Amino acid sequence: MSLIKVTELSCGYEREPVISGLTFKVDRGDYLCIVGENGSGKTTLMKTLLGLIPPLSGTIETGDGLTRTGIGYLPQRTAVQQDFPASCAEIVRSGFQGRKKPFSFLTKEEKQQADAVMDRLGIRNLAGKCFRELSGGQMQRVLLARALCATETLLLLDEPVAGLDPDAAKEMYAAVSTLHKEGIAVIMITHDIDAALQYATHILHVGETVFFDTKACYATHPGKPEPAEKKEVLS
């Protein structure tokens, strides 16, 4: 059974749909990139998948042992996040809170798991540093570690490389790719068509044109946007 199965989904705000009639699924081993124009509803869709806003119509089913609290989420970066006065270790450990009862303390095992996640992403050296003193790339890796503490099954990432320099973006993509190869399914919103075609197994394009299939099919889809390099050559 699929981790997430979406059928005839419409989502939006105040009964005004941004996306209508959307059907797709995500299985274990999938790396789905969601692409589309600005304002096409990509973030609205992700928030609906997470249960942060209710669907207007249609269904979202989870299966294969996945629950809504077992999804790791990395939202878009905000100024509030960047100025958060906490240590990196505290940020990472907070990823466990969604799976715990309110006001409960972390166990010794959970703290050890958080340390292991930081080791896994190569940021253990940042554990004691203040989050707001980090570079943009370091912040995103810490937030990725936080999301990873919430799941070993499915990560939802909303523009994880937005605002990063090319080297930091490359490192972020590599980190996510490694996690995918280790068995974690990924749903990522991105404007980077080149990255989508490099890393994804499937593409979901939303907007005036709606498309869901493998990246091989998307690569030959007549309505897909051109990669960045091709746009520059044509201009």
Q: What is the pLDDT of residue 14?
A: 87
Q: Which whole number is the average pLDDT over 124-128?
A: 96
Q: What is the pLDDT of residue 11?
A: 95
Q: What is the pLDDT of residue 233?
A: 34
Report the first-to-last Cα separation within the chain, whole angstroms: 46
Q: How confident is the model at residue 222 (pLDDT cuts 50, 70, 90)?
A: low
> Which structure tokens are listed for 200?
């994804």
**Is residue 235's pLDDT more than 60?**
no
Amino acid (one-letter) located at 59: T
Q: Which residue has the higher pLDDT, 97 or 58?
A: 58
Q: How confident is the model at residue 228 (pLDDT cuts 50, 70, 90)?
A: very low
> Which structure tokens are listed for 22?
């959307």
Residue 188: C-alpha distances to residues 31, 161, 205 (Å) = 8, 10, 12
Q: What is the pLDDT of residue 155?
A: 97
CB 118 within 8 A of CB 145: yes
pLDDT digit string (tens) for 144-198?
A: 999 999 998 999 999 999 989 999 999 999 999 999 999 999 999 999 989 999 9
